[in-house]
Amino acid sequence: MATNSKKRRNKIARQKLRMRDALWPKLDEATLWSRERFDGWLSVPRPMPLLMRIMDSLSKGKPVSSTYLDLWCRTYDDSFIIANKDREMAFFSGFTGERAVRTWTMRMRTLKDLGFIDIKDGPNGPISYVLIFDPYAVVLQLHEDSKVNESLFNSLTQRMIEIGAQDISEPPKEQQAKSRSTGNRRSNRKPTT
């Protein structure tokens, strides 16, 4: 099944390149950013813009998505951040001025309260270490708790079907039983996008 999925992606990639070349026949590829040529890239779920919109819809008028995206961009696909530059992190999240770090701290607490991240105390203060949880699993749990707008959740489901992701489909029965027995309704599913 993985081979069919890879063939499908390769076919789509070839079709998109043909279309791009038809629209921009004189394109100099050196003007494009390519992860094959440059360092500084990471894995991002394709529905990230929609996941961010869902986060913002849950944060009561105090958007958290730019803070979350900055966190995501600081990982090395390990879901872990050493938060030793709070002023810089606040700035990259869009906060400036005297209250920048305070505002960033509040957004971090909101992300933690929503379940998207966990925070640990350490040498850099109350927010020294950050763990990012699987955003699909968090959104699924929030949806099960009737906290996510149905339209947004359905849009996420549609997008995931379009890209072939199965992250929010029902986990296997043994995983459900294990989650119930430990009192943790979130699963340990890994993103597939």
Give the residue from 96, 94, 141 showing the smallest Cα distance to 114.
141
Say what the pLDDT of residue 170 is. 54
Helix (H, G, I), strand (E, B) or coil at 181: helix
Length of the chain measured in residues: 193
What are the tokens at 52? 């961010």
Quote the pLDDT of residue 169: 67
| Helix/strand/coil for 149 | coil
Please compute Rg for the chain using Cα positions.
19
Each of the 193 residues of the chain gets a pLDDT tens digit; together they read 566 777 877 888 899 899 999 999 999 988 888 777 778 888 888 999 999 999 999 999 999 999 999 999 999 889 999 999 999 999 999 999 999 999 999 999 999 999 999 999 999 999 999 999 999 999 999 999 999 999 999 999 999 999 888 877 655 444 444 444 444 444 444 444 4
pLDDT at 1: 54
Whether residue 140 contacts residue 147, with contact meaning beta carbons closer than 8 Å, is answered with no
